[in-house]
Structure 1
Amino acid sequence: MRVALATEAAPGRPNEDFVAVSADAAVLLDGAGTPAGSESGCSHGVAWFARTLGSSLLAAMTQKHETLPELLASEIKAVAGLHEDTCDLTHPGSPSATVVMLRRTDDALEWLVLADSGLVLDAGDTAAPMVICDDREAQVGARYRSAMDALDSGSPEHQAAHRDYVEALRAHRNRDGGFWVAATDPLAADQALTGTVPRESVRTAVLLSDGASRLVDRFHLATWRQALDLLDQEGPEALISRVRAAEYSDPTGSRWPRGKTFDDATVVTLSLP
């Protein structure tokens, strides 16, 4: 298996994405940042949470034989145990993250997607690639984002509206009828999208945080086929470079309204023999 990956923090911020790959498994997490002025109840922070959960998930996928939801539930519980004595895990802003897991067996690829990071599976022929993304957060968020989207990104007013937007979403996090992320509740793992495909049917698998997939699904500057061709020809750094160019071209969000002018961007491409 040939692996190419790149990750880049949003300018001026720590990278809250995490990605790791072994011979037969890959995991990507995108930590949900806490806007300035909001509390989380945790002294460790989002980057710590994504890094800690992500590394334990990769180890579990390579050492244990449980299903991916079972592994995710177990590791969410284990990470919660690491800071339940020092942090308020009942706080609605406790660190959380999206999760993409991919595991290769002798004859299949097993996958799990929780929240809005993406997985693309490509057969390498004329068929459209299989794109998996859990859009429940976006569906909930559409109810609350109009005030934020009407303001110039980066302005004090936009920052305040973004904080209000994030705090409104917290009331729907890990709730029936809302959306689900990896945080403190192991039951969130049961809500993940999961599936299995024959190993021989996939030539390339791509895991992306939403800061990277926005080239396609928010900015609409490429189709998924064009994005896959770019990754094949120039690599993950080229895709992230195009995302950054688009972000810099629209600093106020007038063309593409968004909560974050810039976002952490992570891509890993797995070319399967």
Structure 2
Amino acid sequence: MSFQLATDPAKLDRPNEDFAAVGSNAAVLLDGAGTPPGAESGCVHGVSWYARTLGGLLLSALSPGASLTGALASSIEYVNRLHVGTCDLKHAETPSATVVALRWGDTDCEYLVLADSVLVLDRFGEAPDVISDNREAIVGRELRKPMDALPTGTTEHSQALREYVAALANHRNRPGGFWIANTEPAAAEQAITGRVHLDEVTAFTLLSDGATRLVDRFGLTTWRNTLDTVATDGAAALIKQIRQAEYSDPDGRVWPRGKAHDDATVVYGHPNG
């Protein structure tokens, strides 16, 4: 298995809250849920620390034989122990993260997807198989309307963003809402999981939601074209295209969004590379 990885922060003066890593038998991508400027999280470490710490622990827990959901649950519990003494883990805005995980053996690959990062399988002779967890998008569709009606970057938009994030928190990790990694290990059981034979797949692509914008928010391209861009020009080329689109609409008038730019991360792997 061979991989390439590219990541780019939304802003140079803020930490990249995405995390991705590849090991000998597994790969992980996490997208930390950022706290809007001016909002408190109850955590002295921050979202970037949370995504990086959970991601590293999860990668090390994905040993052969362990269940993917079990590995994620135990990793969440371990992170809880690391900062329960210094942070308010019951705070509504305590750090959280989406999770995509792959683990492969000699003949097949298992995957896990929790919240709105995406895994795309490029299959022989078929359309790409897009594995995504859209429960947060469904919940947020109505909640985000006041924010999306305002120009990105304005004081009014920033306030609406804080209100949107606070409202979304009321639906986090509960039935009828959406599930994400934060302080509740049982959320791991709500992840989308599956298995695919390696001889059915030509490539795996893991993307944070900042790296899927061209398709699912801007509607400028297709998953097929996205995979072709990464395969031909590299993972960084896809992120460059996203940045160009974002800069063409800085106020979010064409494509309403919470942030003008988002952290963007792509992990691209070949089973027989």
Q: TM-score, normalised by structure 2?
A: 0.98
User: Could you list the per-position Cα deviations for residues 227-259 of structure 1 after superposition, in whole angstroms to 9, with x for gaps in the alignment?
Assistant: 111011100010000000000000010110000
CA distance in 1, matches of 2:140, 2:184: 21
1:147-193 CA distance string (max 9 Å, x none): 10110000000000000000000001111110000000000000000
Unaligned runs of 5+ in 2: none
Corresponding letter in the other structure for 1:194: T
Does the Cα contact within 8 Å between 1:97 and 1:183 map onto a contact in 2? yes
Q: Percent of counterpart pairs with the same letter?
A: 58
The answer to whether the 8 Å contact 1:97/1:182 transfers is yes
Aligned residues: 271
Task: Please identify runs of 4+ aligned residues in structure 1 that moved more than 3 A.
Answer: none
1:48 matched residue in structure 2 = 49
CA distance in 1, matches of 2:218, 2:76: 33
| Counterpart in the other structure of 1:69 | 69
Asked whether the 8 Å contact 1:117–1:209 carries over to 2, the reply is yes
2:26 is aligned with 1:25: yes
Matches within 5 A, 1:213-224: 213-224=212-223
Q: Take 1:8 and 1:101, find their aligned partners in 2: how far apart are those partners?
A: 20
Q: CA RMSD in A?
A: 0.9
Q: Distance in 2 between matches of 1:239 and 1:113?
A: 21
Q: Over residues 210-236 of structure 1, what are the superposed CA-to-partner deviations in whole Å (9 max), with x where a residue is unaligned? A: 000111111111111101110111000
Give the secondary-structure state (helix, strand or coil) at the position aligned to 1:18.
strand
Q: Secondary structure at the match of 1:142?
A: helix
Gapped regions of structure 1 (runs ≥ 5): none
Per-residue deviation, 1:65: 2.2
Letter in 1 for 2:83: H
Question: By how many angstroms is 1:28 displaced?
Answer: 0.2
Q: Distance in 1 between matches of 2:11 and 2:184?
A: 31
Secondary structure of the residue that 1:143 maps to in structure 2? helix
Question: Structure 1 residues 105 and 64 mapped into 2: Cα distance closer, same or farther (>3 Å)?
Answer: closer
The aligned counterpart of 1:246 is 245
| Higher mean displacement: 213-222 or 182-191 | 213-222
Which residue of 1 is the match for residue 87 of structure 2?
87
- Give the structure-1-normalised TM-score: 0.98
- In structure 2, what is the equivalent of residue 110 of structure 1? 110
